[in-house]
C-alpha cells in the first residue's frame, strides 16, 4: 500500500504545482486584459503528463522514455505556437 500513496503524492504535488503556475498566469493576464496561451487547466494537464512520463521512464527503466514524451509535448506546443502566429499573436512565452 505505501507504493500507491507515493504515486498519489507525486501526481498530487505535480497537479498542485501546475495549478499554481496556471493560476498565477491567469491572475497576471486579468490585469492586462490580454488573452493568454495557457492557464490553470493547461499547466495542470502538462504537469500531470510530465509526472506520468517521469513515472513511466522510471518503471520501464529506459532512459529514452522521458525525452521522447517531452519531445512530443514540444511538438504540440510548436504547432499551437504556429497556429497562433498565423493570426498575428506571437506571445506564448511564460515570462
Across residues 62-91, what is the average pLDDT? 79
- pLDDT tens-digit profile of 14-58? 999 999 998 888 877 766 666 666 778 888 988 998 888 888 888
Cell readout for 57 is: 521512464
Run of H or E residues at 15: helix 2-32
Residue 63 DSSP code: T
Residue 5 has pLDDT above 90, yes or no: no
Q: How large a percentage of the chain has pLDDT more than 90?
A: 15
Residue 92 has pLDDT above 70, yes or no: no
Across residues 65-70, what is the average pLDDT? 81
**For position 32, what pLDDT does the model report?**
63
Q: Whole-angstrom Cα distance, residue 22 to residue 61? A: 31
Contact 61, 53 (CB under 8 A): no
**For position 40, what pLDDT does the model report?**
85
Q: Whole-angstrom Cα distance, residue 63 to residue 30? A: 41
Amino acid at each position: 500500500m505505501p507504493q500507491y500513496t507515493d504515486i498519489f503524492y507525486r501526481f498530487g504535488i505535480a497537479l498542485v504545482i501546475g495549478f499554481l503556475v496556471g493560476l498565477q498566469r491567469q491572475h497576471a493576464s486579468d490585469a492586462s486584459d490580454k488573452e493568454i496561451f495557457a492557464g490553470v487547466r493547461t499547466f495542470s494537464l502538462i504537469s500531470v503528463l510530465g509526472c506520468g512520463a517521469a513515472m513511466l521512464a522510471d518503471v520501464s527503466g529506459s532512459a529514452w522514455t522521458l525525452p521522447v514524451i517531452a519531445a512530443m509535448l514540444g511538438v504540440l506546443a510548436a504547432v499551437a505556437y504556429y497556429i497562433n502566429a498565423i493570426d498575428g499573436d506571437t506571445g506564448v512565452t511564460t515570462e
